[in-house]
Chains A and B, each alone.
Chain A
Amino acid sequence: MTQLQYLAQQGINAISIGSLYALMAIGLAMVFGILRLINFAHGDLIMVGSYGALLLLVLGTPFWVAALGGIVASTIAGLLMERVAYRPIRGAPDVSMLLTSFAVTILLENVAILVFSPTPRAFPTPSSLNSTFRFGQLQISRIDVVAILVAVILLVLLTLFVTRTKLGISMRAASEDLLAAHLMGINVNRVIATAFAIGSIMAGVVGLLWSARVGKVDPLMGFYPVLKAFVASVIGGLGSLAGAVLGGFLLGFLEILLQGLLPSSLAPFRDAFVFVALIILLLFRPNGIMGSAEREKI
C-alpha cells in the first residue's frame, strides 16, 4: 500500500469515528446549552437503543425496522429521563443536576444488567453492512461509509432545524438567555423536551452504528461513548453545537493519528495522550475552541 492510500484509509477511519463522537456530543451540547446540565446518562441512551434494536432483530424483524425501533426506544428513554429525573430539579444547583445524571446512569445500567444480564450479546450486523469496498489496495468498510453519510444527513437536518424553524431558533435563544426566553413567551418546556428528543435520536443512531461496528452490545456500552462525547464537547466549547461537531471530528482525528504514530508499547495509553492534548488545549482556550466566556446562569 502506498503512503497516500494509507493516509486516505486512516482519514476515512478518523472521519467515521469522528462522526459518531460528533453526533453524541451534539446531544450533550444541546442539553448543556439550555440547562447547564452535563447529562452523563446520555451514553445509556446508546445502550437502550441498541438493546431495543437487538430485541426486534431477535424477534425476526428486518434490520431497518429494528433500527427504527431502536431509535424510537432511545428517544422515549430520553424524553422520560427529562420528564421524570431532570424537570423536577430544574433550577437546582449544577452539582445536584450532575449527581442526578449519575443516578440516572446507575439506575439504567443496573436495570439493563438485571433484565439482559451483564454478559455481552452478539449484535447480528447484516452482512450488507459488514462488507468492504475495494479501491485498488484501499479497503473501506461499508459501516464507515454509512456512518459518515448518516452523520452528514443528520447534521444538515439539524442545521436547517436550528436556523429555519421557529422551534429551532427558540432553542438557540433559550440556550443563550433563559430569562429572556421566558419573557418572550417561548415554551421552554417544549424546547427542552425537543433538545432531549433530538439528542436521543442521535444517540440511538450512534448506538446502532456502534453496535454494528463492534458486533456486540452490553449494559455498560454507553460509558466510553459518553466520555468521548464529553471530551469532544469540551474541546469544541461546552454548549456550542458547532463546537460539539468540530470537537467530535478533532477527537476522531487525534485518536487515529495517535494510533498511527505511537509505538506499540505506548499504544494502550492512547487515551492518556488524548487527555494530555485536551489539558494543553484548555490551558490556552479554557472555554474550548468555540466556547464563549461563561455567562451568568439565570
Chain B
Amino acid sequence: MLTLEDVNVYYDQVHALKSVTIEVKEGELVALLGANGAGKSTILMTISGILRPRSGHVRYEGHDLTRSSPYDIIQVGIGHCPEGRHIFGNLTVQENMLMGAVQRKDRAGVQRDMEWVYSLFPVLGERVRQSGATLSGGEQQMLAIGRALMGRPRLLLMDEPSLGLAPVIVQLIFKVIKQLHQQGVTILLVEQNARQALQVADRCYLLETGRVVMSGPVEALRTNPEIERIYLGGSAV
C-alpha cells in the first residue's frame, strides 16, 4: 500500500532520515519505535508532504507522492493525526471535525461520520459547541484522532497518540486504535510507549538517528533482548 524507498530527508544541513525504506501493507498496523530524534515524526511528515525528501521515493497505491503537496495527499486517502494534537483551539469541536473533512463534498457522509466519531468518543459528542481550547488533554487527543478520521483515511498516520495522557485515557485511545485496525483501517503508528505499541501492532520498525536498524513482526521484537533493554526498561518486564 505505502512504501518509502531509500528516502533521505534533511533539515537544512542535518541529515534527518538516512536511506529509510519502509513498507506498510493494506490492513496492517505498523509501529515505528525509537528514541526522541530518531526520525519517527519526520517519516510521517514526509509521507504527508510537509517535508520533501532530497532523494528517494514515497509511493502509495501506484501514486508517486514524493513531490505531492499535503493537499493532494489527503485526497488519495492518507490522514495524519500529528504529535502534540494541533487541534484548533479557537474553533469549536464541531468546526474542528469539519476541518478534518474539509475536502469532502458528500454532506450526508460527513454527517454520518461525525456521528460515528461521536460514538467512538461520546465525550466529544457532548461538547460539540465548546471551543477546542477548553477541552482537557485527553479530550483534545480524541478530537485530534476524530478530526483525522473525518477525512475517511484508508491509511492513518498517528504520531504519539498517548503522549502525556492519564492511563485511563491511554487505554481508551488504544482500544479505539485496535477497533479501527479491525475495521480495516491501515495504521502507521509512532509511539514512545513501546510496550503498548507492541501489543497492538502487527509489525514494527526500529529507528536510531534517522536509520532503520531493525524491523519485523512484533513477536520477534518482543522477545528480542536488545529491544527489552533499550525500550522496555530491561529486567522490569
- Indicate the size class of the contact surface on chain A: 10 to 19
Assess A179 versus B102: contact at CB under 8 Å? Given A173-B88, A185-B74, A187-B71.
no
Contact between A179 and B82, CB atoms less than 8 A apart: yes
| Interface assignment of B93: CB less than 8 Å from any CB of chain A | no
Contact between B91 and A179, CB atoms less than 8 A apart: no
Number of interface residues of B (CB under 8 A): 24
How close is A275's CB to chain B, nearest CB, in angstroms? Answer: 30
Assess A185 versus B102: contact at CB under 8 Å? Given A169-B95, A172-B88.
yes
Assess A172 versus B90: contact at CB under 8 Å? Given A183-B50, A183-B80, A184-B151.
yes
| Interface assignment of B100: CB less than 8 Å from any CB of chain A | yes
Which residues of chain B are near A172, meaning CB under 8 Å? 88, 90-91, 95
Option from A166, A169, A184 in Cβ contact (under 8 Å) with B74: A184
How close is B201's CB to chain A, nearest CB, in angstroms? Answer: 23
How close is B197's CB to chain A, nearest CB, in angstroms? Answer: 21
What string of 1s and 0s marks CB contacts (under 8 Å) between B60-87 and chain A?
0000000000110111000010100011
How close is A188's CB to chain B, nearest CB, in angstroms? Answer: 8
How close is A244's CB to chain B, nearest CB, in angstroms? Answer: 15
Contact between A166 and B50, CB atoms less than 8 A apart: no
A173 CA / B50 CA spacing, docked (Å) = 17
Which residues of chain A are near B87, meaning CB under 8 Å? 180
Contact between A176 and B89, CB atoms less than 8 A apart: yes
Contact between A169 and B147, CB atoms less than 8 A apart: no
Option from A170, A179, A188 in Cβ contact (under 8 Å) with B86: A179
Contact between A176 and B88, CB atoms less than 8 A apart: yes
**14 interchain pairs, CB-CB under 8 A:** A169-B91, A172-B88, A172-B91, A173-B95, A176-B88, A179-B82, A180-B86, A180-B87, A182-B70, A183-B82, A184-B102, A184-B151, A186-B102, A188-B71
